[in-house]
Amino acid sequence: MPLAAPARSLANAANAWHLRGFRSPDLSPVVWHPDPALWESTFIATKLRIERARARLDVLLALDTDWDPDGAAPPNRRAGAIVSNILDELEKEALPPTAILPSMEGGIGLTFIEGAKRAYIEVFNTEEITAILDSEENEPSALDIDTSARSIRAATGRIRVHLAS
């Protein structure tokens, strides 16, 4: 299926999102549409993966203080708000994370994997952000990133280029 669909297909895809707010027991989004061809769409697949990341973020923000046997603090709302902004930018870039997990340092981590290339974003409860680009061919490199929309946009763009190269 092509990356860009004709307007008629995009209208059908938009109709598929009418159940967006409902979640199945495994927290994956419940989305139904009678046209099975839409499920081959890169657009729909990306939207679903972003929705799953948002659902996972909701789960992480509900973790109890005893979630980690070593005593790591659960993610807080400040870190969650930043990750939500990052997910907004990732959605614009059509770049869903491979995983979203609680951080052992107190916060939330996003992981991206494409073949032998990896990228990590960790948002700490203190609102600090660390981003790392890694591959088997090169040494890991850190990105300068802060909570501003401009910085987040630049970092997500660099991650996209890194994973695609």
Residue 90, classified by CB atoms within 10 Å of its CB into exposed (0-12), middle (13-18) or buried (19+), is buried
The predicted-structure confidence for 44-95, as pLDDT tens digits, reads as follows 889 989 999 999 999 999 999 999 999 999 999 999 999 999 999 999 999 9
pTM for the model: 0.76
pLDDT at 37: 63
pLDDT at 35: 59
Q: How far apart are CA 52 and CA 46, in angstroms?
A: 10
Residue 59: CB atoms within 10 A of its CB come to: 12
Specify if 31 maps to a domain: yes
Domain hosting residue 97, numbered range: 7-164
Average the pLDDT over 9-37 and give the result: 43
pLDDT at 18: 34
Q: How high does pLDDT run on average in the chain?
A: 82
Angle at 99 between CA 93 and CA 103, to 5 degrees: 115
Closest CA to 147 of 157, 158, 136, 155: 155
Specify if 43 maps to a domain: yes
Report whether 3 contacts 42 (CB < 8 A).
yes
Specify if 2 maps to a domain: no
pLDDT at 44: 84
Specify if 1 maps to a domain: no
Specify if 59 maps to a domain: yes
Looking at the structure of the chain, the number of domains it has is: 1
Closest CA to 120 of 141, 94, 136: 141
Residue 41 predicted with pLDDT over 90? no
The tokens describing 34, both together, are: 């009678």
Angle, in degrees to the nearest 10, between helices 7-16 and 42-61: 30
